[in-house]
Each structure stands twice: as structure tokens, then as C-alpha cells.
Chain A
Amino acid sequence: MRVPLSWLREYVDLPATETGRDVQAKLISAGLEVERVEQLGADLKGPLVVGQVLTIEELEGFKKPIRFCTVDVGTANGTGEPQEIVCGARNFAVGDKVVVVLPGAVLPGDFAIAARKTYGRTSHGMICSGDELGMGDDGSGGIIVLPPEMEPGTDAIELLQLVDEVLDIAVTPDRGYALSMRGVAREAAIAYGLPLRDPALLDVPAPNAFGHPVRVADPIGCDRFTARTVTGLDPDAQSPIWLRRRLQKAGMRPVSLAVDVTNYVMLELGQPLHAYDRNRVEGTIGVRRAEQGEKLTTLDGVKRTLDAGDLVITDDRGPIGLAGVMGGAHTEIDDTEGTTTEVVVEAAHFDPISIARTARRHKLSSEASKRFERGADPAATSAAAQRTVDLLVLLAGGTADAGVTEVIAPSAPHTITIPADHPDKVAGVPYGRETVVRRLQQVGCDVYGQDELIVTVPSWRPDLTDPNDLAEEVIRLEGYENLPSTLPKPPAGLGLTDRQRLHRRVGRALAGAGYVEAPNYPFIGEHVFDQFGLAADDPKRKVVKLVNPLSDEEPALRTTLLPGLLGALRRNDGRGSHDLALFETGLVFHPQDELRVAGRLPVDRRPTDEEIASLTAALPLQPRHAAVVLAGAREQAGWWGKGRPADWADAIEAARILARESGTELLVRSGQYGPWHPGRCAELAVVVDGAEQVVGYAGELHPGVLKTLGLPARTCAMELDLDLLERASSGHPKGPKISTFPVATQDVALVVDKSVPHADVEAALHEGAGELLESIRLFDEYESEQLGADKKSLAYALRFRAADRTLTVDEASAARDAAVALATERTGAVLRGA
């Protein structure tokens, strides 16, 4: 809602010194979101005057038609001589009154006017368009032609009300009343403690039987309908400057007198109106629900197919308007031919929900629907119709028909009962009953009672329905800025949960290992599954899809973090960062086996556990995953020596880091899956509730996949299900008993077949060594010709220690031999040098 300050002053005697910024501050603290104050004409400087065109000489030989004019500007130019002006516009004739800007003036946009040579003549100023004066669109598409009664030389800045301030208010959905000058003026009046001149307080004739016939078939959809008729309109009558200017400043385009007047009254009172050309309406005006499939062409020229839920205005032939949203083209006021001399004015009140649905259904949001959706004042229809009639009579020479039609569905005013100290309790401030009552009365409530207040809310505040709504009125008018600042005392909390701690730890551990976090959008296209080489029946291919994705290329939600993370890797690589280690933790989304609709549960009570379970069953599974990707160098080359490229082992180590942080034993074994290199992929598993479960994969990505995705060679990746990892956690680590007896170290080198995994050998050594083994570590692995093509050597350092004594060499050797013996038995390992 755009509110010109000059217009606002018509209803409230604001102190003359108050600027737009001052009023803005007051209204903001009263709860109107005044986003900005537009300074109209702030940089405008005269002379800007009325001129009368005396002569026009058409200049030939230029690309576009150019006119050399002489214009009478009275004595504004100091000489009284005709002003010579070159002009490119053509919508004026000799004798017309126009707006002339003279040398020395400055137009909006810091446009200084001076005499200048153009098209072979000297132009001493300009004939102005509305655009050049910062007036907004006046629909004329050319220079301004003023009414003939204007005197040449008159100051046009004043005449056209070019200097003003406009408050731009973003009206919240609950405050429909603020979509009117009347509503904003009421707030301003309260904020300044001044009386309001309510423009809706008009003398309105009583309804009678002579008005245009109206039949409301749906009193719930339409609880008020006022119809008034004005005849004898001068079809040539134009909207006066003040009316046009107010509409422009409020952001509307002047169209024709009848339309301008209805718009003006809507802005003033918040009541949308419609004017029908009476000669185009056949018989009774009706209000009913549309028949399914019924057709109506609206004012915007769109032919619409109506829904049975749409409320329509009809005449004897059928729909003539989409009630409360937009009128029909057929009964439109004729503003081009200028043949309309009789109008029927409609001022009605429609059900907000019905209007909201219709506007949404037809994707048609209008000034009218915006107001009805947010709740217009049902008691304002008669006054709005009267105001419209008055203006048409005044400005178009019309005659008000004596007939007054009013259809009113009976309704009781809304009352709310609250304890008088309710606002005090909500705010934490002892306002006292007197203040509460006074504030509620200021917003228009009738208040009765002592300790219990019975509050009747005003017709223009349908948003006031609950006790807390009334509390808000009191608190905001007393000033949110005056609320004290106190701190509640929550019960002692338990801090973060184990799961929350783990999520933080995972991030810190990976960042500590050199990974940079890169959270990505969860939107993916299903083609990535083909690029990843997933099997046709891979569960990751089952995705949750969006009805309205941002991009048709990515209509699904991720089931793996890798597409997003690899995208980030590619983006970084493309921007010149080639040595990359990225990580992400976040949710992935798997549809339930059976899709269900999440029902609309009641809101007037707690849903039952079954009802909540039914919602849960309709939501996808959303486990948290963690993933890393690596490319380029993991260690840089430098003065210390050579660098080292990131490889499969780094990716697997990332999984081990996560397992360590979550206190979970991770099983790493050779695997093959999707985008990974078949020979360089580890399957990661954990034991959950006694059963082994695959938790993820890690290793180098498949060269083919990398080529398809345009990723650097040897890019590596790891992804695992963090929730599953957490479920496998063994919980709090137990403090080990530390022996202070000396350590006995024994190294063994074992030759095994190349296909034997280290993990198997180590496990056998571990088990065979018995309880004296403190630790075991692989310190070398190599292959050689002497060993044979299909053999490899694994060298382990075994450390033995007893809790209660110094081990003898024999004891340590015996333990080592037992370890080797089991490794030999299990894996065919042969002790080297034996």
C-alpha cells in the first residue's frame, strides 16, 4: 500500500513539521511495515509552468517528426514573449495547455534544463511528459495536456502536486484494513494521539425497493451486496488532476473517470468496487457459485473456465464477473468509445477463503482479491457505494438514482472475553485495566466489564479473533520498544546428545585431516545413476521426486551425496584449485516401499500416536550420510621433498577416521560398487545388533565414470551412512590398563600369495599371538622377482608386554611363533628366513 503523505493529512491533522520519515517511524512502531519513504520531486527545481501552445511548425528532413513551437508562458520567462521550444511529441495541438520547463530548472534524475541547439533551432526549455516529471504512468503515452481552464504561467509544481512523500507499506496478511487510507489514517491517528476524520462516516440513504434488482443465492460467499445507480454521466468527463495524481502516487494508472473513481474509493476505504455499464447488464444482478465448466472472459481479456467453487456475479444471461476478483469484459465500462452514461455500482463483501481459492485457482491476484482475501470491512459497503456515487455526481455531472439496493445476511458482531490482565500476562508488564480498555477502544473495540472484559471487535478487524490478538493490540500500542528485558530460567539441560556430538566431531576430524566442507543442494537428475553405472535394480535409483523442481534436469532428491560433492570438486577444479579434499555430511532421501499421502490431521487437539505414525509412514527415510572426495595432490611437493597424489588409501582412511570418531569397529574388505574402480574399491561394513551390514564404500573412482563426469583422473571418494555407523558404535571407550613393564619387540616377515589380504594375515597374527600382544603394525609390504610373481612379503612389528612381569625372550618368541603358526594355517603364510 502506497500512502501519499498529503493524502493522509486529509484524515489526520498531523503536525506540519512531521516528515515522511517521522511518520514512518511512528507507524513502524505501531506495526505497519513502512519499507521506505519515497521522496517525490525532492530533486525537482522550477521554473515549471503552464504554457499555451501558440504556433507549431513541422520541421522536415529529420529521422523522426519534430515540431518547433512557440508557447505562451505568461510572465514566467521574465519577458512575457512566446517561448521557443523544439518538441518531438505529437499529442497536442495549437491552443492546448501544456507543462513547460524553462531553462534553469532541474528535472528528476538531476536533469538540468538549459537553452540548447537541436534540430537546427534553439530550444528554450521543454514541453514535458508525465514520465519526465516523475509522475508515473498516466496512460497518455505523450506529453501532458492540461484542462483548458489553466492560466499560462501558473506554477505547475504546485498544480500537479509534484512534491510529496509516499510511504510504501508492506501490509501483513492479517491487516487487511491497512490496505486503505482509512486504515493507515486510523493507525496514524492513534500513534499521534489525534482524532481521525473517518471517511466512511457518510450519510447513506436507507435501502429501498427501487434499486437495481440483486439476488444473492449464496449468502455465505457474499454476506453484503450494495447496488447503486448513477445516470446521466458525461461520457467526455475526465478525471481531475487531483484524482489522477492521487491514483498515480498510490501506484495505480488513471484509466477513465468511472474506473478511476472506483479505484479511488477502494484506496480510500479499502472496499473494492465494481462499476457496470447499466445498459450492458440484463436484468437482475445475481451472486452464486459457478457451474463447473462455465465460461467467462474477464477484463484482462482471458477466457476462463470456471470451477464450481468460484463465486460469480451474474445477470440474466450468465456470469458477468468473477466475484471479488475481476469483472467480466462484456459489462465493462466503455473507456475507449466513451459511450457509458449510466452505471451500476457494486459494493459487496465476499468470503475471504472463497476469494483466495478463486484467485489462486485462476492465478489472478487483483487489487480487489488482495483486499477480500485479507478481510475487507463488511460494514463499509454502503459508505463506499455512497462515496462512489457522490464522486460520479460531482465529477461526471451524473444524477444519483433514488434506488438503493442492499442485501445483507444477518450476522452478529464478534466478541471475545478476556481477563482484564491478559495483555499484562502476555507482555510481562503491568499495564492495568484502564490502559487495556483505552487501547482496545482506540482500535475500535467496544469494551464492557471489569475483571473480565467483553470485547466487541470492529467490523474492519476480522483478524481479531483470539485473546492474544487483543493482547497484541494493547502491547503494540503501548510500544514493543517499552517491553522490559528479562531472562527465563530453563531447567538444567543435558547439553548435546551423543548423536549431535558425533556430527560435530565428524566435521572437526575431517577438517583436521585437511578436508574442506562443501554442503551441496540435494537436487539431482536420475541420469547420474546411469553415469555412476548403478545396476537397474539398485535401491539408490528409487528417488523422492518433486512436483515443482527448480530445474527439470534435477527433479529428484539425492540418495547419495556424491553427485553434489563431485560437482563441487569439478567447480573448484575448473576455477584452478586442483589439489582438493572435500567433505559433506547431510541427509539423503529414500522413498518408503509404499508411498502414502500424509493426511491433514486436526489442529483442535493433540493428534493420537497412530495419527502421528501415519504421517511418519508417509515421509521418506532420511538417513544422514558422510562423504569425501579427493583429487590432485594429498601432500604437496616442497622443500621437504616430493608430494604425494591423493589415492584410494586416503579415501578409505577417511572412513576409518569416521569410525574412530564414532567408536565403531570398521570392517574394510575388497568390494565392487557403482562408480568405483573395481580393483580399488573397499566395501565398508559394521556390526549392528549382531549382524554385519554394509555401511558404505571407499576407494578410487572408475576411470570411465571420471571421464563421463569430466572429473580429474584418479579422483577418489568415500561415502557411508553415518546413522548406521553410529548405531554400530560400542559406546564409551573403556580406559585400558597400562603396564609399566618393559616391552618386547619381535618383527616377522611373512610371504603370502598376492591375493591374500593383509587384514586376514593381521587378524590371524593377532589371534595367534594371544593376550601378551600389545600391538601389531604392518611396516612393510613388497613384491619382488625372488619372491615370485604371485607372492608378496608382509613385514609386521609385534610388541609384547605383560601386565605383571618383565617378559623373557623365550616368552616373547613363543608368542610370536604361535602368531606365525596361526597365520600359516589360515593364510598359507611362510616365515621369511625360516
Chain B
Amino acid sequence: MKPEEIERMRDEALAAFAAAGDLDALQEAKVAHTGGTSPLALANREIGALPPQAKAAAGKLVGQARGAVNKALAARQGELEAERDARVLVEEAVDVTLPYDRVPAGARHPLTTMMERVADVFVSMGYEIAEGPEVEAEWFNFDALNFTPDHPARQMQDTFFVQGPEGTHGDESGVVLRTHTSPVQARALLDREPPVYVVCPGRVYRTDELDATHTPVFHQIELLAVDEGLTMADLKGTLDHMVQSLFGSDMKTRLRPNYFPFTEPSAEMDMLCYVCKGESVGNPDRPCRTCSSEGWIELGGCGMVNPRVLVACGVDPEKYSGFAFGFGIERMLMFRHSVEDMRDMVEGDVRFTRPFGMEI
């Protein structure tokens, strides 16, 4: 067994591996150069027939050659597998810009999510959400709230009346579609012992024709707090907190005296325009569409709960005082989300609702 022979076999094997262009060719070369009938395998077999004194040298010679061949095979195997893997990854590449609108996304209506959003500001402060019926007794909608039967304010709320039993006429049923969420105040006070801290979101009704700025069915959210020692400053602070939570930490509110039967003192509440922060006032170069360059946005009504309301609901006005406010969700949606036409909120067009998603 000549060393040159063995080296030649080794070199031929190494050359064959290097020449193998893919894993199949390598497999062939592997069989040819490391298989049972390969020259090196045969040479190995021959070692047994050698005289004992030659065995060790021949064994070392063949063993080294076979070691080198196996190492080269493994190395080449690794190279070719890596090449193949890389190629497969390239081949498997896709166009990631393809759309996948197989089931178009759904959405909740922004009026719903807006109400939840506002309510959650107060829920996080410890308030509870109170609810009431939409078809409501006049007593809850008006009388308990200090709207006396002939009060002009009662006539100003364009009320839908429900037909009563046979023999009754007009508004004699004593049942109406609630004109505001305020009857829930009375219900909350009758249901709970003070202290009472509730918010009441819901649907309300007035006999307005639908147009760009009116809808006969709309939504309000009402807040009521009744406790010992509540003041108008507490009302102001609560309003400030709300607008900061909804519009940013530099927001604030402004109160202007107004009149509502169920609060005394009463106020109209405005919030600083969250877009121009009041800087458009007297500044014709930078007009603000959101607040019409007024600097303030009218939000709704508020005040200290009229002690007469407390009396009608069985709460001792000597011991407890309270504050309340309420405002329209549609309006807030209009100025917070630049909705220009109220009809878009009532027609259920999916193109309007979809962009609002799950939360607002």
C-alpha cells in the first residue's frame, strides 16, 4: 500500500466533493468516495491482510485520509445546505403589500364610544353610571326637577307626548319621551342614599326636525353629585378635570350665569377652544374654525342642584348639597372630531362610522 495511492484517493475524494454543485451531486460523490466500495474503503479492508509490522503504519495512513475525506464531506454538506436554505428563503418571498380586507373591519358608533369615553372619566373618579327609561313619566322628566306645570322652561322643551289610555287626550298620559337625561338624577336620588355620585349617559328626544345641526333623537351625558358640603367650586373643579381628561392638561372651563329650573345657581359652561386655545380672539390673521374665533366652545348647562329637587327626592337640603351638569354628545363629537353635519351621525352610513373603530 503506497502512501501516494492513498493520498491520490484522498485528493480525488476532496476534489469530487468540491466539484459537487448541489446536495444530490454531493450525495453521489459521497457514495463514490466514502461508500463500502469506494477506494478508501477497499484500502481499509486490505489493511487486515498486511503483515503485522505494516499494519500500524497503513492503518494510520488510511485512517488520516478517511478522516480528511469525512471532514471535507461534512464541510461541503454544510455549505450546500446553507446555500439551499438561502435559496428557498429567497424563493418563498411574498409581496407584503398585498391587502387583506377579507372581512372588512367593523366599528362601534362614535356616539356610543364618546359617551363611554366621557363616562369613564368619572367612573375612574369613583362615580357610578346610572340609567333610566327613555319613555319616562312627566313627574321624573319635569315636576321632580322643579319644572312647574306652567313654567315657561317646560314649554321650551319640545316634548314628545305618549298616548294615554282610552279617554285621555293630548298630553294627559303623564308619559313623555324624556327630553333630557336629568330624570335619571331624580331616579338616582330615589334609589340611593347620599352620598350620590353618578353619571347618566343616554338617548333623549325633542320634536326638532332633522337638519345639519338638529336631530330629534340625540344623546346627553349628565352628572350628579350630592354630598355634604359640596360647593360650586367643586363643580368648577370637576368640569376642569373633565375637559383636561378629554382635551389635554392645559384645558379649562368658564362658567356664565344662566337659568335652569333644576339648578340654582345655574350656569352655562364653556371650555377653552382646544384648537386655538383662545389665541384666535381678536386675531383675524389666525381665524379658528372650531370656535369661530370666540376662544371658547359652549359645552352645556350646570349648577348647584336646586334644593327643591332634593326635597322632591327625599334628600334633606339642610344636610346635603349637590351639583349637576349635562351636555350633548353630538355637539362634542362635532367639535372634537370635526363632524360638520349632524345627519351623518344618524344615517348609519358605514363610511362615516368605520374610521372611528372601537374607542374614541
Contacts and interface: CB of A to CB of B under 8 A. Distances in A.
22 contacts: A425-B231, A426-B304, A427-B232, A467-B307, A471-B264, A484-B236, A490-B125, A493-B123, A493-B197, A511-B106, A512-B358, A513-B103, A517-B107, A544-B163, A571-B347, A577-B349, A582-B348, A586-B203, A595-B166, A599-B139, A606-B312, A615-B139
A603 interface: yes
A467 B165 CA distance: 41
Contact of A360 (B112, B155, B358): B155
B140 to A, nearest CB: 7
A327 B234 CA distance: 50
A708 B87 CA distance: 61
Contacts, number: 308
A508 B175 CA distance: 34
Contacts of B284: none
B175 A511 contact: no
Contact of B264 (A468, A580, A603): A468
B150 interface: yes
Interface string B94-116: 00001111111111110110001
B227 interface: yes
Contacts of A595: 164-166, 173
Interface in B138-186: 138-140, 143-144, 146, 149-153, 155-156, 160-166, 168, 170-175, 177
A547 B170 contact: yes
A546 B161 contact: yes
Contact of A577 (B257, B266, B350): B350
A512 B185 CA distance: 34
Nearest to B189: A606
- Interface residue tally of chain A, by bracket? 35 or more
B112 A507 contact: yes
A467 B321 CA distance: 13
A672 interface: no
A11 interface: no
A481 B289 CA distance: 25
A550 B216 contact: yes
Interface stretch (A23-31, A268-276, A295-303): A23-31
A522 B346 CA distance: 12
B360 interface: no
A575 B133 contact: no
Interface stretch (A216-224, A329-337, A630-638, A811-819): A630-638
B135 interface: yes
B182 to A, nearest CB: 14
A581 interface: yes
A771 interface: no
Contacts of A515: 106
Given A173-B153, A599-B174, A615-B140, A514 B104 contact: yes
A606 B317 CA distance: 12
A520 interface: yes
Contact of A603 (B99, B161, B311): B311
A374 B152 contact: yes
A91 to B, nearest CB: 40
Contacts of B131: 500
Interface of A: 28-31, 33, 172-175, 352-353, 356-357, 360, 373-374, 425-429, 466-469, 471-472, 475-476, 480-481, 483-488, 490-497, 500, 504, 507-508, 510-522, 544-550, 557, 565, 568, 571-572, 575, 577, 579-583, 586-587, 589, 594-607, 612, 615, 618-620, 622, 634-636, 638-640
Given A172-B258, A468-B265, A635 B108 contact: no
Interface stretch (B1-9, B24-32, B237-245): B237-245
Contacts of A512: 106, 358
Chain B contact residues, majority secondary structure: mixed
A622 B197 CA distance: 25
A514 B174 CA distance: 42
Contact of A636 (B102, B136, B138, B230): B102
B250 to A, nearest CB: 14
Nearest to B268: A33
A638 B266 CA distance: 59
Contact of B161 (A483, A547, A565, A620): A547
Contacts of B240: 485
B297 interface: no
Contacts of A604: 311-312
Do most interface residues of chain A lie in helix, strand or loop, or is the interface mixed? loop
Contacts of A513: 103, 106
Contact of A519 (B126, B143, B348, B351): B348
B284 to A, nearest CB: 14
A31 B257 contact: yes
B190 A606 contact: yes
A481 B217 CA distance: 33
A272 to B, nearest CB: 16
Contact of B307 (A468, A497, A521): A468
A589 B163 CA distance: 13
A612 B190 CA distance: 9
Interface residues of B, number: 107
A586 B187 CA distance: 20
Contacts of B149: 600
Contacts of A619: 133, 135-137, 175
Nearest to A565: B348
Nearest to A587: B134
Contact of B162 (A518, A547, A582): A547
B313 interface: yes
Top 8 A-B residue pairs of the complex, sorted by shortest distance between their CB atoms: A606-B314, A31-B257, A428-B231, A518-B348, A598-B174, A428-B233, A472-B265, A568-B348
B6 to A, nearest CB: 54
B354 A471 contact: no
B104 to A, nearest CB: 6
A517 B112 contact: yes
B61 interface: no
Given A516-B350, A598-B138, A581 B232 contact: no
Given A466-B264, A518-B353, A572-B349, A618 B175 contact: yes
A30 to B, nearest CB: 7
Contacts of A620: 135, 162
Interface in B331-357: 346-351, 353-354, 357
Given A426-B265, A597-B174, A521 B216 contact: yes
A547 B227 contact: no
B333 to A, nearest CB: 13
Nearest to A518: B348
A602 B144 CA distance: 8
Given A514-B106, A581-B106, A598-B173, A622 B135 contact: yes
Contacts of A575: 349, 351
B257 A30 contact: yes
Contacts of A606: 190, 312-314
B135 A483 contact: no
B257 A472 contact: yes
A485 B108 contact: no
A466 B217 CA distance: 35
Contacts of B209: 550
Contacts of B123: 493, 495-496
B221 interface: no
A466 B308 contact: yes
Central interface residue in A428, A582, A635, A639, by most chain B CB within 10 Å: A428
B168 A597 contact: yes
Contacts of A353: 150
B195 interface: yes
B127 interface: yes
A174 B162 contact: no
A572 B348 contact: yes
A468 B264 CA distance: 6
B350 A580 contact: yes
Contacts of B166: 595
Nearest to B165: A595
B353 A31 contact: no
B256 interface: yes
B156 A173 contact: yes
A572 B352 CA distance: 11
